[in-house]
Amino acid sequence: MNSDALILALAERLGLIVAGAFLLLTITPIHKMRLRQGPSWRSTLLQILFFGAAGILGTYGGNLVSQSVANLRAMAVITGGLFGGPVVGIASGLIAGGHRILIDIGGFSAVPCGMATMIEGAAAGLLTLYLKERSVDWRWAAGLALGGETLHMGMVLVLSHSFTEAVELVRIIAAPMILLNALGAATFVQVINVVFRYRARQDSVQAQEILDIANSTASHLRSGLTAESAMATARIIHSRVAVGAVAITGEADVLAHIGVGDDHHLPGRPIVTKATRTVLETGQPMFLSNKAGIGCGHRDCPFASAIIVPLTKGGSVVGTLKFYGTASKSLDLLLFELAKGLGNLFSTQLELENIQITERMLAHAEIRRLQAQINPHFLFNSLNTIISFCRTSPEKARTLLQDLSSYLRKSLEASRGFVPLSEELDQIRCYLAIEQARFGERIRIDFDVQDGCESWPIPPLIIQPLVENSVRHGILAHENGGEIRVQVRKQDGHLHVEVKDDGVGMDQNQVDRLFAKTRLDSRSGGIGVRNCFQRLEQIFGPAYLPSVVSAPGQGTRIDFMLPMPARV
């Protein structure tokens, strides 16, 4: 066989090998393999096997020439080294090169051919340490193959058993192998680059589609998995994804169904498909490609395929998201991945539902609480009072200014965690000192704190707003003012707190409004008190809600319990 005929034969085998690699990378799970250095040992092992097998195939796809083989091994191991780095390059070179030696033990050119393949794989892998990501380029692949196969020919001349036979062999195979391996390596690298760029674009489009749907549905799912939120979510998905129908279920009932089949897959009805019940039980997503697998007993059900993914919350399956395919709108693996991505995002949204509600409530409460505590009118009146004392009693003005500074600082630092009871009492004393400077004897205060309670950790600003409410809406409504009593006791392993005044009191409607679950940005009265009540319930639970005893003209008493520090 002359060189021209050998070039044509190797070119034909090159085309077959590249086409086979392209098919493997596009229609088998190999396309999910990340061809990069060091993603994981499993991926590295897969790369070694893939490129090592491609190198062996390059040997068997070669042509026998003068008791040797004109082959395409180099293009496989060089590509492996450039994509996978030194480990993959060296290992795949050892596999392909070692195979070449073992199938022709004692052959006059077996050792130099096998060693050349090992050197080429190692060189490609080691080159990536210098070039990094720039190594995955067809020009480097072609250059390495040109140099590697030139070295290969030199090693055949030097290391073969018969120099005369080696010269004749090189005369025939040198040009075809150098040319075709360079072309093959460049083509192989480009094919892999194209496949993975396409895959990356697919992933990007899918991720963008998932995020767009998630953004559109987030406002609905904030309220939890209800019939209303499920229906709105299903409509959005159905309008953006080409499927026959979209359904969302709870644990027992169909919550929403948009699309064909809505004559018997009815919202509000029990789940009828066996496959859905299986996913609810196992928590594993399913891709069903036939009507029998879906398990719908309706005779005229149009569904030919289905994708069912679980929706979870708190580690338990609470529902499912379903895509249905028909004869005209079939389902595929891309839609399966899309459904799983949406299912994961929806599950996260449901998981965060309680946290979001808590954070939203606490955020509103914190804002309103700060507004209530640092009331501009209070600050203005306090400064006016201090200014007036500057003329008549500078020492008193200085003390009040310190009290105001301490009060404001603690109010602004109220987002901290628990604080000792003593800090809360100091906050109350600072507030009352300023108010007593304004209203004199109209405000009287009595602290009755049992010894040993001062270090008890409590939420910040949980008592002060109650005292402020007694001042503003209780005793100051009387011409002669009144008295506020703050009593703190240890009782049954809890801290018992009572705030009592002899002010104007409240009727039952006013008391009920203190417990109403109204928005915290309401302009109605009692913001500070309701703030405290809601925070106590949120932190410790409904059992720790305060009790309020009040009647018009008979004052008000608010008392509540705080659990032991070890239970906080």
Higher pLDDT, 381 or 357: 381
**Same domain for 525 and 448?**
yes
**Same domain for 190 and 275?**
no
Is 241 a domain residue? yes
Higher pLDDT, 33 or 328: 328
Domain at 105, CATH number: 1.10.1760
The residue-averaged pLDDT of 420-449 equals: 89
Is 216 a domain residue? no
Q: How far apart are CA 283 and CA 315, in angstroms?
A: 10
The residue-averaged pLDDT of 214-222 equals: 71
**Same domain for 394 and 535?**
yes
Q: Which domain holds residue 549?
A: 357-567
Look at 260-269, 368-377, 394-403, 407-416 and tell me which has the smallest mean pLDDT: 368-377
Q: What is the pLDDT of residue 46?
A: 86
Higher pLDDT, 373 or 354: 354
Domain end, chosen from 321, 350, 379, is at: 350
**Same domain for 141 and 258?**
no
Is 206 a domain residue? no
DSSP 91-142: HHHHHHHHHHHHTTTT-TTHHHHHHHHHHHHHHHHHHHHHHGGGG--HHHHH
pLDDT above 90 for 546: yes
By the 8 A CB rule, do 568 and 457 touch? Answer: yes
The residue-averaged pLDDT of 355-384 equals: 56
**Same domain for 443 and 563?**
yes
**In percent, how much of the chain has pLDDT > 70?**
85
The residue-averaged pLDDT of 321-343 equals: 87
pLDDT above 70 for 567: no
Reported in sequence order, the residue ranges of 236-395 that DSSP labels E, i.e. its strands, are: 245-249, 254-259, 286-288, 305-313, 316-325
Cross-strand bridge partners of residue 54: none
The residue-averaged pLDDT of 237-261 equals: 91
3-class SS string, 11-30: HHHHHHHHHHHHHHHHHCHH
**Same domain for 319 and 363?**
no
By the 8 A CB rule, do 54 and 22 touch? Answer: no
What is residue 40's three-state secondary structure?
coil
**Same domain for 258 and 374?**
no
**Same domain for 326 and 398?**
no
**Same domain for 306 and 243?**
yes
**Same domain for 299 and 428?**
no
Give the closest residue to 494 by CA, choosing from 540, 448, 538: 540
Instruction: Count the neighbouring beta carbons within 10 Å of the beta carbon of residue 286.
Output: 19
pLDDT above 70 for 517: no
Is 157 a domain residue? yes
Rg (CA), the chain: 39
**In percent, how much of the chain has pLDDT > 90?**
31
Is 213 a domain residue? no
Q: What's at 536, amino acid-wise?
A: L
Count of domains in the chain? 3
Cross-strand bridge partners of residue 254: 249
Domain end, chosen from 350, 372, 391, is at: 350
pLDDT digit string, tens, across residues 80-131: 899 888 999 999 999 999 999 999 888 888 899 999 999 999 999 999 888 8
Domain at 258, CATH number: 3.30.450.40
Domain at 383, CATH number: 3.30.565.10
Is 325 a domain residue? yes
Higher pLDDT, 521 or 398: 398
pLDDT digit string, tens, across residues 21-50: 777 776 665 555 555 555 567 778 888 998
Q: What is the pLDDT of residue 493?
A: 86
Is 22 a domain residue? yes
Q: What is the pLDDT of residue 245?
A: 93
**Same domain for 341 and 371?**
no
Banded pLDDT at 211 (limits 50, 70, 90) = low
Is 212 a domain residue? no
**Same domain for 152 and 245?**
no
Domain end, chosen from 149, 167, 201, is at: 201
* Strongest mean pLDDT among 194-203, 389-398, 494-503: 494-503
